[in-house]
């Protein structure tokens, strides 16, 4: 042990003050762990929720303090040392120490890596012009909000959840919004064409221009973005741009210290990495999922919370297996989209309700008769019941699923 670390008691160190890290702290203390906890985060704030950043917080409908996962006082009351504005730069596994970018050393008995993910940047000419924004943090929201003027022209690059949520909020604020998506439909990675086309028509009815099958090839402007070039003759005027083209897991600490990393930090169902004293949770992990029988890397609050709980249990000698149906949500206008399960590989999509006639329906994804996922639009019962049925690997009759006279509770024969 060297320098600063000599005076420090070894305890649990958490790198990353986000959703998974905050959950781990709460679970450690509620589980009776009384030893030292240090949480190192490279942002300025106590752990906060990111979903509102593209929804109510961006819209100015909720205040800053509503974002906190736990009230700031919680950490002092729980006797947790918070180290903010500090980046963990390396892990010395031999001496069991975390080294920070500003030269501090934190010895650990157990280490949790909960570093989340960062935005994927767009690498085309003009990428560094002013006015090109991403959305991951509170600071990013503040940058985008500063451009929210009625009549301003916003081009959103990427028709995934985040791009579409930003488009919906911007439209409500009176901006001219264009969404550019490379795939032939929005949200193509996660939902059936029925759902994509429904969302495209809702956005278009609100006045958003949605262009699919276009790839941004560059940005033009004199110091500041003025046009978005799609390389096929199409040029879009822009006062500013928001890019939402996916994320990259923050795995560098794990890679550099020789942990097993493969599309995320490889952990088992108890959040254990290839080092017995190091655990990982949240967006940065690649973990097994017993429901689907293969490994996953997920970007969701539910995943971060549940893995945070498993990590806390495992670090203190317990065993809480993480083995759940993934779920996610997206809010756009008056539509709450709730997704349970993973639809990839489905053989049949069954629609309950009429997407043409109203703003409430569900699409069930069956694989050889077994329910594997649902997209529920303003349909909480379908979502809730499906979570249970997916976990049970229930085989369902498509005709009964379609029949709205049969309540979801009665859907299994």
Cβ closer to ligand FAD: 96 or 411? 96
Q: How far is the CB of 289 from ligand FAD (least distance, A)?
A: 16
- The tokens for 151 are 């009549």
Cβ closer to ligand FAD: 135 or 325? 135
Quick one: angle between helices 161-172 and 193-206, nearest 10?
A: 20
Q: How far is the CB of 336 from ligand FAD (least distance, A)?
A: 10
Spatial neighbors of 400 by CB under 8 A, at least 6 apart, are 406, 411, 413
Q: How far is the CB of 214 from ligand FAD (least distance, A)?
A: 23
Cβ closer to ligand FAD: 178 or 330? 330
Give the torsion sign (CA, 306, 68, 27, 42).
positive
Q: Taking a C-beta distance cutoff of 8 angstroms, is the pair 349, 375 a contact?
A: no
Residue nearest to ligand FAD (CB): 18
Q: What is the DSSP string of 271-337?
A: -B-SSTTEEE-STTEEEEETTTTEEE----HHHHHHHHHHHHHHHTT---------EEEEEETTEEE
Q: How far is the CB of 139 from ligand FAD (least distance, A)?
A: 11
How many Å apart are CA 246 and CA 117, to the nearest integer?
10
Cβ closer to ligand FAD: 265 or 396? 265
Closest CA to 230 of 212, 255, 204, 208: 212
Distance of CA 321 to the CA centre of its chain: 21
Q: How far is the CB of 222 from ligand FAD (least distance, A)?
A: 30
How many Å apart are CA 296 and CA 173, to the nearest integer?
37
Cβ closer to ligand FAD: 229 or 269? 269
Cβ closer to ligand FAD: 141 or 411? 141
- The tokens for 83 are 């180290």
How many Å apart are CA 126 and CA 218, to the nearest integer?
6
Q: How far is the CB of 13 from ligand FAD (least distance, A)?
A: 11
Q: How far is the CB of 21 from ligand FAD (least distance, A)?
A: 6
Cβ closer to ligand FAD: 41 or 353? 41
Closest CA to 325 of 367, 289, 298: 289
- The tokens for 300 are 């969701």
Cβ closer to ligand FAD: 328 or 346? 328
Q: Taking a C-beta distance cutoff of 8 angstroms, is the pair 60, 46 a contact?
A: no
Q: How far is the CB of 350 from ligand FAD (least distance, A)?
A: 24
Cβ closer to ligand FAD: 34 or 334? 334
- The tokens for 404 are 């709205």
Q: How far is the CB of 47 from ligand FAD (least distance, A)?
A: 7
* Residues that bind ligand FAD in the complex, under the rule CB under 6 A: 15-21, 40-43, 50-51, 53-54, 87-88, 114-116, 135-136, 162, 250, 253, 282-283, 299-302, 304, 328-330
Rounded to 5°, angle at Cα 275 from 269 and 281: 45
- Measured CA to CA in angstroms, residue 408 lies from 386, 403, 412 at distances of 9, 10, 8
């Amino acid at each position: 042990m060297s320098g600063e670390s000599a005076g420090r008691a070894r305890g649990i160190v958490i790198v990353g003050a986000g959703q998974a890290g905050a959950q781990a702290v709460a679970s450690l203390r509620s589980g009776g762990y009384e030893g030292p906890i240090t949480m190192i985060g490279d942002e300025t704030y106590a752990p906060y929720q990111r979903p509102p950043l593209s929804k109510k917080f961006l819209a100015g409908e909720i205040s800053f303090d509503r974002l906190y996962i736990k009230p700031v006082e919680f950490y002092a009351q729980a006797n947790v040392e918070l180290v903010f504005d500090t980046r963990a730069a390396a892990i010395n596994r031999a001496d069991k120490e975390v080294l920070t970018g500003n030269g501090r050393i934190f010895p650990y008995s157990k280490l949790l890596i909960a570093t989340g993910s960062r935005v994927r940047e767009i690498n085309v000419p003009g990428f560094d012009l002013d006015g090109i924004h991403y959305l991951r943090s509170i600071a990013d929201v503040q940058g985008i909000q500063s451009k929210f003027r009625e009549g301003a022209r916003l081009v959103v690059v990427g028709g995934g959840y985040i791009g579409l949520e930003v488009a919906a909020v911007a439209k409500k604020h009176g901006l001219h919004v264009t969404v550019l998506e490379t795939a032939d439909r929005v949200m193509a990675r996660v939902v059936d064409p029925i759902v994509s086309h429904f969302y495209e028509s809702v956005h278009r009815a609100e006045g958003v221009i949605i262009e699919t099958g276009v790839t941004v090839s560059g940005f033009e402007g004199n110091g500041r973005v003025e046009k978005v070039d799609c390389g096929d003759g199409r040029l879009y005027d822009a006062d500013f741009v928001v890019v939402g083209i996916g994320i990259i897991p923050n795995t560098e600490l794990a890679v550099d210290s020789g942990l097993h990393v493969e599309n995320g930090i490889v952990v088992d169902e108890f959040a254990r990495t290839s080092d017995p004293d190091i655990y990982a949770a949240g967006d940065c992990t690649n973990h097994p999922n017993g429901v689907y029988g293969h490994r996953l890397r997920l970007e969701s609050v539910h995943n971060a919370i549940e893995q945070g709980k498993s990590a806390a249990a495992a670090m203190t000698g317990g065993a809480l297996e993480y083995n759940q149906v993934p779920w996610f949500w997206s809010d756009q206008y008056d539509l709450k989209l709730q997704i349970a399960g993973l639809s990839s590989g489905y053989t049949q999509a069954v629609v309950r309700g009429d997407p043409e006639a109203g703003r409430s329906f569900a699409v069930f994804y069956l694989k050889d008769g077994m329910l594997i996922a649902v997209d529920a639009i303003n349909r909480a019962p379908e979502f809730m019941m499906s979570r249970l049925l997916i976990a049970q690997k229930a085989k369902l009759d498509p005709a009964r699923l379609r029949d709205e006279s049969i309540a979801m509770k009665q859907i299994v024969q």
